Structure 1
C-alpha cells in the first residue's frame, strides 16, 4: 500500500511503541529503544545461544557476569553482548542492581530482564515489554501460569513456587500468579525507583515489594518456559526456596512488625495462660503439682507479652518513619 504501512507493520509499530523494524530472521518487531539484560553466573552452556536469540529482537544486550568461574563472560562477549564482570560473586541481587545502575544512566525507554540458562523464549520479549512501552505499566512480569492451570514446571518446583507466591503476595499486597519469574520488563521510572538491597535470590520478591511501595503499576503477561534441554539450575531448589522465605520474613518484620512479633506473641501468651490454667485445675483436682507445667506456662506467657509489646512499639516506629 503506497504512502502507508502494511497491517503486520502497523501491528509491530503499535506493539513496540513506534519502533516497527522487523528482524529478517524471525519477522519479529525490533526494539531499538529497549535494553535486554541478563544476570549470569556460570552459564557458559546457555549464555551464547541466549544472547544470539535476543539479538534477533534487539542489539542492545547487556550481560552482567557475577563472578563466574567458567567462560560465561567470554562467550557472551563473543556473541555480541556488552559485558560487565563482577570480580567476585555478589549474588543475583547484586547483578540486578548493577543492571539497574547501568540502565539508569542510559537513554533506553525500557529494560527487560531474562535468565541466561535458556529457559525463557526471547521471541516473547516484545509481548512482555509492550505494556511498558505503551505506558500501561511500570513493571511487567512474564507469568508461566496466568493463562492455564497446566504447566511444564516440575511438580516439586510448582509447589514451592506457590508457597513463595503466597508469602510474596501477603507481604506486598499485590495479586500475582508468578512472583518468582525472572522474565520482567521495567519502565525508566521503575528503574529509578526500585533499589535492590538483598544480594541473594530473594531479589524477585524484593522487586515486587519495592515497586508496590513506590505505587508503581505492576501487571503480568503470559509466557512460555523451556525446561527440556536446559542444563539444570544455578541454585538448589530447596536452598533457593528457603533463602526466599527468609528474605520475605525479613520484609514482613520490617514492614509489619506488629504481625511479625505481635501475632506469635499473642499465641504464646494464650498458650501459656491456658497451659498454666490447666496445671492449676489438675492441682486442685488431684493435689499433684507439676513444676514443669508452671515453668513452661510462665515462660510462654512472659515471652508472649514481650512479643506483643515489641510488635506495638516497632509498629509505631515504622509508622513514624513512613510518615516522614
Structure 2
C-alpha cells in the first residue's frame, strides 16, 4: 500500500499539507485558532494555512492576514458552510495539497491532534479521516444533543457502510485523490454528505479520537435541535436518493404495491364470503395504490438511468481535476528548472 508521498512529482519531496478553515464573521475567535495551528508536521515538507472568507462583514480577513495565513479565498456574499468547504477543497487542490485538513474557526478542535488525524492518510491507510470527539464528555452539549449526535452518527454509519463514530465532526483529513472525487450538493453542511458519499464511492473512511477545547461561542449550525434534526434527516434522505435511487423508489413502489394488494384481498374476501357488492372504497383505494406503485417503479428505472449519467459526469469531472493537477505540477517543475519563482 502506497502513502501520499507516491503522488508527488519529485520523489525527494515530501507531501504538502494545507489546513483549511471556513470562516464567516470569525474575527473574535480566528486568532486563537490560528495560534494553535502547527507549521511543522512530521512527514510533510510543507504545511500551509488557507482561510475561506464566506462573505464576512467583520475583520476576519484582516485577522487572517495579521496572523500569517498563507492563502485567503473570499466569497463576495455568504454562501453557507457547505459551499465554503468545497471552495476550500478546490483552492487546496489548485495549490498542490497532497493532504487537506479541515477545521473550524471557533477553535473547537484541539490542533495538537492534527498530526494523528493526517497520519492514516499520509501512510496510505485511509482516504478520509474523521476526528471523533468525546461526545459524552463535552460539558456544553445538552443530553438531548449528545443523544442526537450519537443517533445521527449511527444512521450515517448504516447509510454509508463506514465505521465513523462522530459523523457531524468537521475535523477531518482528506487525501488529494479523495478530495478530487468529492461533490457536495447540500447548502447546509458537508459533514454527513461527504461521509455518505465517500462510503458509497468505496473510499476508505476511518475515525481517530480527538480532543476538544473550551466553547468560545454558540454553534451557528445548530440553531435549534428540531431544526438541526430536520435538516440532517433531509440531507441523509437526499443523499440516499442521489446515490441509491433504484433502491429508494423501488422500496416506495414495493410498499404501495403491497398495500394495494392487501386492500384488494380484503375486498375479495368480503365479496366471496358475504356475496355483496359493497366495499367499493376498498376497490378504489387498491386501484389508486397499485397505480402509484407502478408509477414509482417507473420512476425507479428512470432515476437509475439518471444516476448512471451522474456517475459518468463525476468520472469526467474527476479526470479533469487530475489532469489540471498534473498540468500544474508540470508547470511548477518547469519553472523550477528555469529558475523562476
Shorter-chain TM-score range: 0.7 to 0.9
Q: 2:117 aligns with which of 121, 128, 134?
A: 128
Matched, 1:151 2:151: no
Contact 2:264 2:283 survives alignment (8 Å): yes
Question: Separation in 2 of the partners of 1:96 and 1:193?
Answer: 14
Equivalenced residue count is 291
Matched, 1:98 2:87: yes
Matched, 1:41 2:24: yes
Matched, 1:199 2:187: yes
TM-score (norm 1): 0.77
Q: Which has the higher helix share?
A: 2
TM-score (norm 2): 0.74
Deviation at 1:75, TM superposition (A): 2.6
User: Could you give the per-residue CA deviations for residues 267-288 of structure 1, whole angstroms, max 9, x where no partner exists?
Assistant: 1221122224324544654958
For 1:234, the equivalent position in structure 2 comes to 220
> Cα distance 1:293–1:43, how it changes in 2: closer, same or farther (>3 A)?
farther
Question: Separation in 1 of the partners of 2:51 and 2:15?
Answer: 17
Contact 2:121 2:175 survives alignment (8 Å): yes
Q: Unaligned regions of 5+ residues in structure 2, if any? A: 6-13, 42-46, 316-341
For 1:7, the equivalent position in structure 2 comes to none
Question: Separation in 1 of the partners of 2:137 and 2:264?
Answer: 50
Matched, 1:269 2:269: no
Matched, 1:225 2:212: yes
Contact 1:64 1:98 survives alignment (8 Å): yes
Q: Unaligned regions of 5+ residues in structure 1, if any? A: 1-16, 18-30
Matched, 1:169 2:128: no
Question: Separation in 1 of the partners of 2:86 and 2:308?
Answer: 27
CA RMSD of aligned residues (A): 3.1
Question: Separation in 2 of the partners of 1:264 and 1:178?
Answer: 30
Single out whichever of 85-94 and 290-299 deviates more from structure 2.
Answer: 290-299
Question: Separation in 1 of the partners of 2:105 and 2:111?
Answer: 11
Question: Separation in 1 of the partners of 2:117 and 2:207?
Answer: 8
